[in-house]
Amino acid sequence: MVPLSWYMALSAAVFCIGVFGFLTRRNIIIMFMSLELMLNAVNINLVAMSHYLQDIRGQVMVMFIIAVAAAEAAIGLAIIIALFRNRATVHVDEINEMKG
Amino acid sequence: MDITMVHILIPALPFIAFLVNGLLGAKVIRNQAHWVATLAVAGSWVLSVITLMDVLQGKTFYGDIYTWISSGSLNVSVGFSIDQLTAVMLIVVTTVSTLVHVYSIGYMHGEHGYWRFFSYLSLFTFSMLMLIMSNNFLQLFFGWEAVGLCSYLLIGFYYDKESAAVAGSKAFIVNRFGDFGFALGVFLVFIQFGSLDYHTVFAALADWESPVVELFGFEADLVTVIALLLFCGAVGKSAQVPLHVWLPDAMEGPTPVSALIHAATMVTAGVFLVARCNPLFDLSPPAMSTVAIVGAFTSLFAATIALVQNDIKRIVAYSTISQLGYMVLACGVGAYSAGIFHLYTHAFFKALLFLGAGSVIHAVHDQDIRNMGGLFKHMKITAITFWIASLSISGFPLLAGFFSKDEILWMAYASGGVQGKLLWLVGTLVALLTAFYSFRLIFLTFHGEFRGGHEKEHHLHESSPVMTIPLIILCVGAVASGWVGLPPVFGFENQFAHFLDPVVGHPEAHGSHAEEWMVMGVSVAVGLLGIGLAWIMYGKKSDLPATLGGLAKGVPYRWLSNKYYVDELYDLVFIRSTVQGARNILVAVTDGAIIEGIVNGVPAIIARLSEKLRLIQTGVLHHYTSIMAFGVFLLFAIVISWAGG
């Protein structure tokens, strides 16, 4: 039996990797993947808690998050492709025209 | 007895006709609108006659049919009270309304908005019936305002004509002044008696000691204040001085409207109000004196103006104001039944005069009597009925106006004291003037040579039967309607006064039979004198009018023909200052500076702020992400320190 704290630690580690990647990388696809990491860290957390508390609702929630995340990934990638076709770059520092 | 369907249908029928014509008139019914409206009002007339029969047998009806407002101590119902006074008014309103509907079929034929006209007429009839049948002050007020609205709509019926639109607004605004006082009076009644029901209020008056209130430094009985405030409403609606200015201008409306609303029914609502509230007025001698003096002054004032007017409808309009003054005068001396009697006979002969005038205008297409003359041989029915109506209004013996006018003059005389004699003198003088201007109108319109040119003379014709038959029926009323109130000196009991006695009571008459004969004789004599004078001046060819007009350098004539410059005075005192104030303060300061300042200022400030704020939006993705992360850590820090603390 794996204790709850291990799961939490894993989740925290994955989340921190996601945040770090999101803040430091300049490639929009890498940033996007970091985002997915953060999302899945949350999922791990939810499933662990669901198991620990013997409450199925946490896992149901995860199913929804996966479904939404799939849709979000599809739209996000589509936007990135459209962006690339227009600007021929995935480097976010070069995409800075939308400002006040 | 309780209210039954018969009574409810009396106002309901015209209301249904209004809905039908108002909703379907434009597309479906169109030029058949008169069927709906006329049948409905004729139905009301039949039901009114049935009701009158019941009331004649001594039955009265009282009851609520619907709870309108129930809020705290304020309980108002829609209800009807049908007593002798209401029964008389029902007959007057439905009879004249029916005849005017029929007449309008001919007069308004082919007019643009034919259905609109009839739906307004139905709405008016409904409102007027609600007003007279009400059993409480609030429903009375509702009817009061609704007839005012219909008056406005119908005066401005030809809304594309500017003068008509202006006249409609004028009538509405002038009535605001009176209605404001009326509303305050109703409020005071509620505060004092805790109810708006006629029965409750009038019953409470019996053992009520009117408190003395201080008003603008004067001490007055509360009942006087209430009565005078209610009378304010009557002054506006019945066009008494100083709020008479709207009625002559109201002649911009179609002539049948003038006959129905501005002669026979709506303008008499003020007289009805005073008669209805007679228990209140009776408690206050100062208010009664005010009523009598306002009435007498108005009747003289309007009669003098009528002497020199040239517009056929305006002459009749001033005549109406003058006769309304008579009725108010009668109420002021406590002779409510005499006032209502005159209201009832006046409705017939004045409606007849207006409809006759309409018939003339229909033929000549002009309203100026200087361009008429000699119409007698072209339109015999109109001319003869007009003659009879004029004889009636002049108090020619045995016609309707003779009895009612005589009753008022006698009651004024017999009310006693110097005031009574003075009122009688004024009334008699007005009778002279009335006869004079009525027959000046007749001689200039129907006799002599036609002055409108040969071209027009060719086209002169009598109106169609749909217009002349109402004239003939009204003519019967102008002759015979007075016979229900034959005076005691003729050896009859005055049945009309007797009939109304349970509602309005009767004043004490101080005077002998001999004096009554004297009063009657004098009024007949001045009536004939007036007719004679009119014949000398206008029946025969004479220089007298010109000579008299030039008297004292024409100053009296100018004052009269300009209606004593009352309109100009109001223009100077009220309208100009209001318009100036509106322009300089409301438009320039309130609207221009304050409201537009706020409306334009707020976006200006926001625009300037956002000019700075939008710089935060750098467009660099990493600025956003780091701020987001920083925010998350900050939140964590706060939560953790909070939970730990």
- Taking only the tens place, the pLDDT of each residue in B44-72 is 999 999 999 999 998 899 999 889 989 88
Q: Which SS3 state, helix, strand or coil, does residue B64 take? A: strand
Q: Cβ A99–B629 below 8 Å, yes or no? A: no
Contacts with B168 (C-beta within 8 Å, 6 or more apart), sequence order? B152, B153, B155, B156, B159, B252, B253
Dihedral (C-alpha) B440, B444, B446, B452: value to the nearest 10 degrees?
A: -160
- Can you read off the two tokens belonging to residue B484? 């229900």
HSE at residue B373, side-chain half, CA atoms within 13 A, is: 15
Contact B388, B347 (CB under 8 A): no
Q: Kindly report, residue by residue over B305-351, the tens digit of the pLDDT.
A: 999 899 999 999 999 999 999 999 999 999 999 999 999 999 999 99
- For position B504, what pLDDT does the model report? 87
Q: Which SS3 state, helix, strand or coil, does residue A13 take? A: helix
Using the Cβ of B629 and the Cβ atoms of chain A, whether some distance falls under 8 Å is answered with yes
Q: Indicate the residue type of B371.
A: N
- For position B187, what pLDDT does the model report? 94
Q: Kindly report, residue by residue over B454-500, the tens digit of the pLDDT.
A: 887 788 888 889 899 999 999 999 999 989 888 887 877 788 888 98
Q: Kindly report, residue by residue over B21-52, the tens digit of the pLDDT.
A: 999 988 888 888 899 999 999 999 999 999 99
Using the Cβ of B621 and the Cβ atoms of chain A, whether some distance falls under 8 Å is answered with yes
Using the Cβ of B614 and the Cβ atoms of chain A, whether some distance falls under 8 Å is answered with yes
Chain B contacts of A99, Cβ < 8 Å?
Answer: 617-620
Chain A contacts of B636, Cβ < 8 Å?
Answer: none
Contact A19, B629 (CB under 8 A): yes
In this prediction, residue B645 has a pLDDT band, given cuts at 50, 70 and 90, of: low
Please name the helix (run of DSSP H) or strand (run of DSSP E) that holds residue B138, with its range, or none: helix B137-155
- Can you read off the two tokens belonging to residue B416? 């006693």
Q: Which domains does chain A have, with CATH numbers?
A: 4-94 (1.10.287.3510)
Q: What is the CA radius of gyration of chain B?
A: 30
Q: What is the 3-state secondary structure (H, E, C) of B513-556?
A: HHHHHHHHHHHHHHHHHHHHHHHHHHHCCCCHHHHHHCHHHHHH
CA–CA gap between residue B179 and residue B183 (Å, rounded)? 6
- Residue B178's closest CA among B274, B313, B283? B274
Using the Cβ of B607 and the Cβ atoms of chain A, whether some distance falls under 8 Å is answered with no
Average pLDDT over residues B372-382: 88
- Can you read off the two tokens belonging to residue B88? 């008389």
Asked which of A94-98, B94-98, B349-353, B567-571 is least confident by mean pLDDT, the reply is A94-98
Q: Kindly report, residue by residue over B247-281, the tens digit of the pLDDT.
A: 999 999 999 999 999 998 999 999 999 999 999 99
Q: Kindly report, residue by residue over B150-160, the tens digit of the pLDDT.
A: 999 999 999 99
Q: How far is A97 from chain B (nearest CA, A)?
A: 6
Average pLDDT over residues B509-523: 86
**pTM for the structure as a whole:** 0.81
Contact B328, B487 (CB under 8 A): no
Provide DSSP, B230-283.
HHHHHHHHTT-TTSTTHHHHGGGS-HHHHHIIIIISGGGHHHHHHHHTHHHHHT
Chain B contacts of A93, Cβ < 8 Å?
Answer: 620-622
Q: How far is A90 from chain B (nearest CA, A)?
A: 12
Average pLDDT over residues B581-585: 89
Q: What is the DSSP letter of B452?
A: S
Minimal Cβ distance to B626: which of A23, A98, A100:
A23
Q: Which SS3 state, helix, strand or coil, does residue B311 take? A: strand
Q: Cβ A96–B613 below 8 Å, yes or no? A: no
- Can you read off the two tokens belonging to residue B430? 């007005």
Q: Which SS3 state, helix, strand or coil, does residue B219 take? A: strand
Average pLDDT over residues B547-563: 79
- For position B371, what pLDDT does the model report? 87
Using the Cβ of B622 and the Cβ atoms of chain A, whether some distance falls under 8 Å is answered with yes
Contact B96, B20 (CB under 8 A): no
Query: Mean pLDDT across chain B, nearest whole number?
Result: 90
β-sheet bridge partners, residue A91: A27
Contacts with B513 (C-beta within 8 Å, 6 or more apart), sequence order? B489
How many H helices and E strands in chain A?
3, 0
